[in-house]
Every structure is written in structure tokens, then in C-alpha cells.
Structure 1
Amino acid sequence: MADRVNAFVPGPRIRIPGREGGPLAGLTFAVKDLFDVAGTPTGGGNHDWAKANPVPERHAWAVQSLLDAGAELVGKTITDEVSLGILGENAFDGTPLNTAAPDRVPGGSSSGSAAAVAAGLCDTALGTDTGGSMRVPGSFCGLYSIRPTHGRLDLTGLMPQAPSSDTAGWFTRDAATFARIGTVLLGEAPGPLPTKLLVAVDAFGFADPEVAAALQPMVQRLAGVLDTTPRDEIMAPQGLSVWARAQRSLQPVEAWQTFRPWIERDNPRMAFSVAAGLIAGSQVPVSEQNWAALMREEARARLRYLLPPGTILCLPTTPFPAPLRGLPMPALRPMRDRITSLCAQGGLTGHPQVNLPGALVDGAPVGLSIIGGRGTDASLIAVAQAMEAASS
């Protein structure tokens, strides 16, 4: 199938058939170019990274799992450079097209995977989420997406960024396929449904008013699906921006530690914004890191308190729809900071989070997120199925 949306990495497309008769037989998938595919360079969105690292001899665990389950691999997809981005723009390979809003970015860093699924070029696609890279493209492109419980999936064969926050997830256009992939990768069928619903009023207040209003029908449908009365709660008593500051203090330090040997050895080419982020990570004071580590413990304690068994929390996935393509850097920084303020809880706490599509603002998608207790990934997938059934 022709790549009409610039979702796949340049060069010959790879195709690897899945095992015959598996539970995912008949489905096609693509993988973000952070996952190893045997015999194919792992590019990581930076041409110098591919040159500096050997061609993998084995598939990443997640890739092998989908192949063993019968799905067919149809290509590797573009990522923000070394996964350090949230909007989906890559100086080397370009910006994949968001078919749900063609004048807007697809979201990153799993931009190509989201674009490929949204355009119908594959049934599902693997991506990663460290600071929001599954959730944000899901919201911007109108897809189901998941950031699993941290540590739930085996990340063998995945190019790291910040290991204490790194996760792998998947995109789909429909909840049935979303659940099929989850059953294979999680090793667990969807269910049971939660019985209590919390609404993160601080997150709704932080989002653009148009986004908060557009998501209200989904919140009411969610309450109906769970047959419960929603209860308002503050997710981050210290402040969403404070949680974001903690994540921005921890994640860049780890990213610098990950890429420092390569940078110091090879002096690679990279976009200014990526280089600036890595430099910032190298300069975070130890006192700031210590403060951020304590704030991470507070965030984890807060979500443990809010999310006992049978309870989920909902919030806007992103504070606004996808920004326009090609905006200047000064306009993008405050947007990135606002996105991080609604995504920081993922990396800080490790709780699973699912983006539910279903709302529009000015014709562009925005998603509603649901967060559960650690290990309740399958329950969140069951909610996605029930929400789709309720909207049909």
C-alpha cells in the first residue's frame, strides 16, 4: 500500500508475514523506528544513530509477539528524533500527515505509527510513551492508544530514552482491534469494568474551555457505561505544572545519560530543539533532581490514594487539539509545556492510561483519557470496548 502520508521511514518497505493461524491472523501492523526488526537498521529518527549502531539480529519482544500471534509487519514508521519530541516533526524525515486534521501535526514521538493507523495503512502500530508519545498522537489523530503500566511489557529490543519512564503501546482505529492486540501483548483478556469514576477537575480546568466542553458528553457516556455517578477530584494537589516540572527535571537527565556516549563519541547531526533538550538535561542540578524524585513519590502516593481497585480517573488527554504544522519554535515551547502538564503523571507514577477518541474541536480530534491503578490495563481496555458499543 502506497505511503501517501509520509508515515514510513524512507527506503524499501519491509514486509514480514505472521504465523499462520494465530489470534491476530489477517491483521497488519507497523512499528515505530525504535523497535528492532531483524536485518533492518533501527534508525531512531536520526540518520547518524543508524550508522553508529549495528543492524539487529533479532526482533524486539513486542514485534516478535505480534508476528507469533499471526499479524503481518508492513513497515517501520517515522519517529521524532531519538524520541525527543511531542509534536511529530522530524528534521530528517519530515512530518507525517495527520489525516484527521491535515493542516495540523500528528503528535509525537510516535508520529508515523499514529499517522499510518489513522490513514488506514495498517490495522495497528507499535509506539512508545515516555512523556506522552502514545497518548498525545492518539488524541491528535483520533485513535485508541495506551500507555501501559510501567514495566508491564517487555522492552527488550527497544531503543531506550529514559528507562524509568519508557513504555511501549499500540494504536488502533477501533476498540475491538485494540482489545485483540491487548490480549496478546498483555497476556490477559479485557475486563472487568470498574465501578467508580473520578473526574480530574484540575485537568479539565487546565484544558482549553472548548476542549473541556467537547469532552463532557464523553464523560457522561462513561458514567453511564459504568453505571455510576462521577465524583470530582483534584488529581495533582501540588499543581499540574509542578508535576510537569518534576517530569521535565527527571526525564531529560536520563535522556542525556542514555545518549551522552554516542554524542561525545560521534558528534552527531541533530535538530537544534533536540540538541537543546539534551544540553538542558546535562545541566539539571542535583538539588533539582532530588526535589523531582521526592515529587515523583508524592505523585505516586496521590494516585494510589485516588485509584483503589475498581476506580478510574478521567481527564483531557491534551489541553488543545493538534497545533498547526510548521509553527515557529517560540510558539511551540509553551504548547509543549502545557501538554506535559497533562501527561506528566504517566512517567511520574507508571499508571496505565488509555486515550478514548470521540470528540472534536473545530473539526480536529481531542481525546478523553482514563487512568487506572497499576496493573489494571485490561480493565481500561474493557472500558474502551464498552464506550465504543455505547456510542454506536
Structure 2
Amino acid sequence: MSEPLLPEPALPEPAAPALPTPTSVTGELPDGLLAAFAGYENALAANDLAALDAYFAPGEHTLRGDASGLLVGHDAISGFRGARSGTVARSIRSLHVRVIDAGHALIVSVNAPDAGGAGLVTQLWTVSDTGAWQVEAAQVAAPPAAINPTVWRLVGNPLVAADAPADGATPGALAGETIAVKDLYDIVGFTVGAGNPAYLREARPATETAPAVAVLLGAGASVRGIAQTDEFAYSIAGDNEHYGTPPNVRVPGGLPGGSSSGPAAAVALGQASIGLATDTAGSIRVPASYQGLWGLRSTHGAVDRAGLLPLAPSFDTVGWLTRRPGVLRAAAAASLDASLQVPVPPRFAVSAALVFAADESVQAAFVDGLDRLTRAGRIDAPDLVDVGDLAEALGIFRAVQAAEAWLANGDWVTAHPGALGAAIAGRFAAAARVGATAEAEARTELAAARARLDAVLDGRILLLPSASSTAPARNAGPAEIEATRTATLSMTSLAGIGGYPALSVPLFEIDGAPFGLCLVGPRYSDLALIDIGAALAG
């Protein structure tokens, strides 16, 4: 068993709620064990974070698992608790104790949530050096939710059926696939909520289905449901103050990435095979990177954006998230005009500035990963290119994005004070201050930056990390989230400036946490990028 690696906090005096007599006990019941269990249940009911921390053994080997994944270490478990709002009220229905020895016991409890159903908790309790009983490992099985509201706004089986093929026709390329549609796209008969309850309350059902949705239905896929988004898609974190934060199954306790957080989580959870999403400044690439998914931002304007709630039309693009490259290619091929797609020779470029914008662990893993790909003969050594001042480019991008975001949504924001979460409200407040002169100057600079990138890349595929870090912790502070956001946007905004397609390939990991290799290609090289990415992934 693990040795304490941290000073032990003082355990509170355990309360003694009414617990059932243990249904079964093997071995001699140790003193204090049931009292400690009762104290833990009291702390859980009160969401007493300090007490819960004290009841879990300190150190890096403590475990807590549930359907979302495994948390390893006391700090990770504590951070998870701090980011949630508490647990559902419950009573203990039955209790089973298996005494291992004087200092270790296994407790299995069956609980009855007030909301219905039944839960099961298995805990390994150990005696600390000070004689206190603490949980060293726990597995929690809660009643399954019919719908996880952090992931889905609406779900059906299906919500919208695929178009039926004509008599005798071959089934479409996406037959049997299911779609999680980001809550920005029109679907006839349904409303768009844009990640905000106030906006949803006033929305009217769509009278037409957005072409980006319709083409997938025509190819044989069905809509599984409408998935959550960060408010107005103005974020890349994946935390929505109104609906909660979707899980990240690859990094338990980590942010899922946004603004396509719902579609990404639905795909990663296996609840849909295609996430129909959007990418303005990284909203597909970042969740793909954080959750180990394939994600493609299409060439700007290559897919019809009619019926899509805009954020910044100069940069908004349609795109897809999948678990497998073949499904991604089929979805993209069904949606793109094949006559406009261009082949791209596998010539690669790397920018030192883009690599150094990432944190040190990503830098090291990215360089090592490229070295392994080169030694394996999967890529030729990339050319080193200078893409210019990243801070300057991001400033240009942000000015145009903000001006367009305010034009698209400013009237609604003004008419609904207090309706937005704090971070999104702050972004719209900044957007409102971008004047006409600043916008005009930024648009001139944007055209120049785009031409400069075209010349520097010269038809090569730019390789870079898909995000500046692996998934941050859900309980990370606002300053840390904003620093990560700025670093990531300085990398992801270049594709927006150039109108380029960008593919995140789930190729790399750091201590089990995924991060993507991003391929940014020439305009209309979308399908070629997927083929090249699939070859790199082997």
C-alpha cells in the first residue's frame, strides 16, 4: 500500500448518521471503520471539500474511478471535487465489509439516490500512520443518466433519420453513422440554443435544415442529437457556465476543449460517430487534441454555412470530429465539392515560433514525435520557415473576429444584460470597443498577413501542435485558462488568417494525455490532408 507523501490533514470528528447494519461482514470488524465511513458519507452529503480531502489518503497513488475515467493521486481527486457542484442526495441501502487485516478493509455500499435508481461504491480503506481510517482506492458506479446535459441538449434514437435511398440505390457512404450536431446549426423543426438558455428560450424552430447537416443525412447518416457548445462558440476551453463542462474521457478531470465541446465529447464517449462542428479559431482542433480525436477544419468557404449561427464569418468554417480517419474522410467527401479539391505533395514545413508557443512538455514531445516520423521514413525532414510575429498576427485576427462577433450578436447581448457567463461576457464587452477605424486597419493588415503566409508556406504543409498544452484541469484558475487560451490561439489563428484547412491527428501523448499533430495545408487540400494524416498515423 502507498506511503503518505503529504502531511496528513486532521480528520473531522466522524458524525454518525443512520446506517444500515452491515448486510455481511467477513473477519473481525475493526474499531472506527464504520464511524469513518459514516463521516465520509456526511461530508459527501454536505459537499465538505476539506473533510472529503481528509478522508482520502494523501499521496500520488490514491485512486478514484467512475464512468468518466480514473483519477490518480490525491491532488487530482481533490481538483475533480472542487470543479463539481456536489453530489446527488442519497441514502445507504446495504453495506458489505470484507476485512483484509487489521489495517485494511474493503467496503461495498449500495446507495439509493433520492432521484431514483441505485448506485454502487467500492472502497479500499486503510489505517494511516496516525491511526485514522482513509480511502486509498474507490470505484463509483452511479445510476446511468439517460442524457448527460453537459454533452447533449436534445437526443433521439435517432433525432432525425437519414434520408432513405431511392429504390435499388446503393446505401450512402455514411450509412449507419450517427451525428452529434453542434447547437449552432438549423435543423427543421428544432431551435438553435447557441449554448445559452436565454437565447434558446427566444429561439424559433428552423424552417429549413442547414446544408452542412442535410448533406450528411443525404449520405446515409442520422442525427443522434443536438450537442452543447460554449456560448456563441466564443471559447476554446469547453466550460459552459449554464450547462456544465462535458467529460474528457481521455483526461479525467481535464477540460474537454471548446467551443465544439459537446460534439467532441459525444464522439469520444462513443455516443455518436461524427461530430458536426465549427472552427473559427481552433474550436475543432483543440477538443480533438485534448480528447485524442480526428478533427478537420475545412477550407474557409468550402462548405455552405447557410443555416449556421455566425461568430466571425471571415473565419467561421464547417468541420467534423471522428474517432477514425475513414469516417472523417467520408463525412468530408460528402460535404466538399470534389472538383475544387487539389492534390498536395507531402512537403512539410515547421515554424520554431509556433513550436515555442506551446508549453515545454508539448515542445519536447512534438520535436521527438517529428524525429520519430522522420527516422521511420514517414516524412522528409521539414523545412524551417518564418511565419512572422505570432502576437501581431493574433492581434489582427482578434480585432477582426471581435468586430464581426459584435456585429453578429451584439444587439442580442446588449438586450440581455447578465445572460452570458463571465468569460464570454468579457469577450463581448471587449468586442464592443473595437471601433470602425481599428477594424478597417485590421482588415488591411489581415489581407497582408494572408499574402505573407501564402508566400512563406509556398504550397507546403505546416506542421505544429494542435494546441499549446494537453487538456488543462477543470479546476484551473481563470488566469491559467486565459494564458493557455492566448498561447493556443497564437498557434491556431494562422489557419483562420489564411483560410486554410487544418487537420488534427491524434498522434502524440504526454503521460497518457493526448495532443494532436496539426497539418495546415493549402486551400482546398482538405481530403489530401486526411489521406496524408492517415498515412502518418499508420
Q: TM class, shorter-chain normalised?
A: over 0.9
Point out the more displaced range, 298-307 or 226-235: 226-235
Q: Give the Cα separation in 2 of the matches to 1:86 and 1:177.
A: 24
Cα pair 2:155 2:224 within 8 Å, conserved? no
Please give the residue correspondences for 1:1-392 in structure 2 after superposition, counting only pairs within 5 Å: 2-3=146-147, 6-9=150-153, 15-20=159-164, 21-188=171-338, 192-220=343-371, 223=374, 228-235=380-387, 237=388, 239-267=389-417, 269-309=419-459, 311-389=460-538
Cα pair 2:343 2:525 within 8 Å, conserved? no
Letter of the 1:17 counterpart = A
Structure 2: tracts of 5 or more residues without a match:
1-144, 165-170
Point out the more displaced range, 35-44 or 299-308: 299-308
Aligned CA RMSD, in angstroms, stands at: 2.2
Instruction: Output one character per residue of 1:24-78: Cα deviation in whole Å (capped at 9) or x when no partner.
Output: 1011111000011111111110111122231102211111110010001101111
Offset of 1:344 from its aligned partner?
1.4
Q: Give the Cα separation in 2 of the matches to 1:26 and 1:183.
A: 16
More strand by share: 2
Cα pair 1:46 1:81 within 8 Å, conserved? yes
Q: SS at the partner of 1:15? A: strand
Offset of 1:85 from its aligned partner?
1.1
Q: Give the Cα separation in 2 of the matches to 1:294 and 1:225.
A: 42
Letter of the 1:32 counterpart = K
Letter of the 2:293 counterpart = L
Letter of the 1:230 counterpart = P
Instruction: Output one character per residue of 1:255-299: Cα deviation in whole Å (capped at 9) or x when no partner.
Output: 111112223344461112111111111112444323422331232
Q: SS at the partner of 2:162? A: coil
Q: SS at the partner of 1:228? A: coil
Structure 1: tracts of 5 or more residues without a match:
none
Structure 1 pair 234–3 and aligned structure 2 pair: CA distance change class (3 A): farther
Instruction: Output one character per residue of 1:316-359: Cα deviation in whole Å (capped at 9) or x when no partner.
Output: 11111111103232332222111111111122221111111111
Offset of 1:131 from its aligned partner?
1.4
Q: Give the Cα separation in 2 of the matches to 1:361 and 1:5.
A: 30
Cα pair 2:264 2:321 within 8 Å, conserved? yes
Larger Rg: 2
Structure 1 pair 12–74 and aligned structure 2 pair: CA distance change class (3 A): closer
More helix by share: 1
Identify which of structures 1 and 2 has the higher relative contact order when contacts are C-alpha pairs closer than 8 Å and 6+ apart.
Answer: 1
Q: Give the Cα separation in 2 of the matches to 1:11 and 1:69.
A: 20
Q: Give the Cα separation in 1 of the matches to 2:480 and 2:457.
A: 36
Offset of 1:304 from its aligned partner?
1.0
Q: Give the Cα separation in 2 of the matches to 1:51 and 1:268.
A: 15
Offset of 1:93 from its aligned partner?
0.8
Letter of the 2:361 counterpart = E
Identity of aligned residues (%): 34
Cα pair 1:195 1:226 within 8 Å, conserved? no
Letter of the 2:162 counterpart = G
Cα pair 1:225 1:387 within 8 Å, conserved? no
Aligned residue pairs total 386
Cα pair 2:279 2:318 within 8 Å, conserved? yes
Q: Give the Cα separation in 1 of the matches to 2:247 and 2:149.
A: 5
Cα pair 2:154 2:226 within 8 Å, conserved? no
